[in-house]
Structure 1
Amino acid sequence: MAHSQFDQFLQEATYRDHEAGISLHGDSLYGLYTSWCCVSRQKPQPEHVFWAAMAQRLSPGEGLRMKKCPAAADYILTSYPAMV
């Protein structure tokens, strides 16, 4: 079975953390996804398509954290340019 772009994103850029009080959600998760697409040279899907895919893959309240990866670095530097 082929993995979709969304499965690949979740595998490469995130990990599940059931005990974390802080997790990626909303703009942060979509921002990490668009950074992952840029780094991976893949075309990002529209936000509504992304959220529909995440609804199928994630349980409500499931904690996701960013992995240390090129997409995370790109997301942080893009989101917080004062850190450069």
Structure 2
Amino acid sequence: MGNGLAIDIPSRTVMMEGKTVDLTKQEFNLLCYLAQNEGRVISRNQIYELLWEDEYHGSDDGIICQVSRLRKKIEKDPEHPKLIKTVRGVGY
């Protein structure tokens, strides 16, 4: 994903500008999924199914919360994200 972000999948560690970032299991899984699909828009449905291993039922609250928490941990300015951008009405 660039911008000083390093993801080591086997050790499940994330570094941002050389500093370790503490992520929950869901945050790590979400970040890896987005990174592996860089340049593609990932729907909320896809994210929901990944994180909760269940069918999407139309509620975005959990997804929005997870993305927000992840942004706070990896973005320099979470209010103006550069790594995880929202595509209105579609996903991230």
- The alignment's TM-score, normalised by the length of structure 2, stands at 0.30
- Report which of the two has the higher share of helix: 1
Which gives a bigger RCO, structure 1 or 2 (Cα 8 Å, sep 6+)? 1
- Report which of the two has the higher share of strand: 2
